[in-house]
Chains A and B, each alone.
Chain A
Amino acid sequence: MFLNDNFYKVISVVREEEMKGNVCLELLPECSVYDGHFPGKPVCPGVCNMETIKECACMVLQKDDLRYESIKLCRLTAVATPAVCPRIVVEVSAEAKGSGYMIQGAIRDEQQTYMELKGILV
């Protein structure tokens, strides 16, 4: 959970069901990742948003060390930045699969969807 309080701050976690919920986050503009992505032009790295979905899945599933074994498909549909979308909602739903979980995640705000992802966490 190395992005928590580093790349984002959790505002609220709502567990609708055992394996479904959404997490409201605030992006932290002072995060060091923006020093290099990109110098003078802070843009959320897509991979940080993928990691954010995983960490939110851990919160919803109440497990703290899950990993992506595979990502079937992740579409980055809009460029996210702390200025464009200071607050985001991460939606997560999961179902048990083998020793892990098949998850679907999305990152949205009121204006648009930034990412949709399907993957396996173990």
Chain B
Amino acid sequence: MPYSIEELIPQRAPIQMVDVLVRASEDEAVCQYTVKDGNFFIESDGRLSEVALIEHIAQSASAHAGWKARETGATEAPIGYIGEVKNFHLYQRPKVGDVLETVVSMGPEVQGVTLMRGETRVGGEIVADTQMKIYVPE
């Protein structure tokens, strides 16, 4: 992957929640993130709050949008907003050091709103999944 993550997503510490865009295609992307101690969402028990997984999945979609933009000559990562979260499920809360691997599948886009599905695993075990709409102002 020719791009650093900072070239693909606008978010930065302490809320940056993607380290690497592993691979991407027209309508799918795989991203990775290692849970770090300074992450904004680490709770007193050393585990991520469950909403952090929604942010991680949204940033994975953002990385896909950034990749598509760069591939077509953009010079900045587009800013996207979560528009809707639907059928989110938490299965387990990752801890510091865990490596999150997420697959996002991108659906249709209408007037800047893209429908997508994301699923996050740690060591192959499901951690969270959700549907989401990401709004990228045109």
Contacts and interface: CB of A to CB of B under 8 A. Distances in A.
A76 B82 contact: yes
B74 interface: no
Contact of A48 (B11, B51, B86): B51
A67 B58 CA distance: 20
A39 B14 contact: no
A99 B126 CA distance: 22
Interface in A3-45: 32-33, 35-39, 41, 43, 45
Given A32-B14, A69-B89, A72-B87, A47 B52 contact: yes
Given A47-B54, A47-B82, A33 B90 contact: no
Interface residues of A, number: 29
Given A36-B15, A69-B89, A2 B82 contact: no
B13 interface: yes
Contacts of A48: 51
B72 to A, nearest CB: 22
Contacts, number: 88
A10 to B, nearest CB: 18
B11 A36 contact: yes
Contacts of A46: 54, 58, 81-82, 85
Given A68-B88, A73-B85, A73-B86, A47 B51 contact: yes
Interface in B69-101: 79, 81-90, 93
B55 interface: yes
A70 interface: yes
A100 to B, nearest CB: 12
B16 interface: yes
Given A36-B14, A36-B16, A76-B82, A51 B88 contact: no
A71 B87 CA distance: 6
Given A38-B11, A47-B51, A68-B51, A32 B40 contact: yes
A68 B84 contact: no
B14 A50 contact: no
Contacts of A73: 84-87
Contacts of B82: 46-47, 76
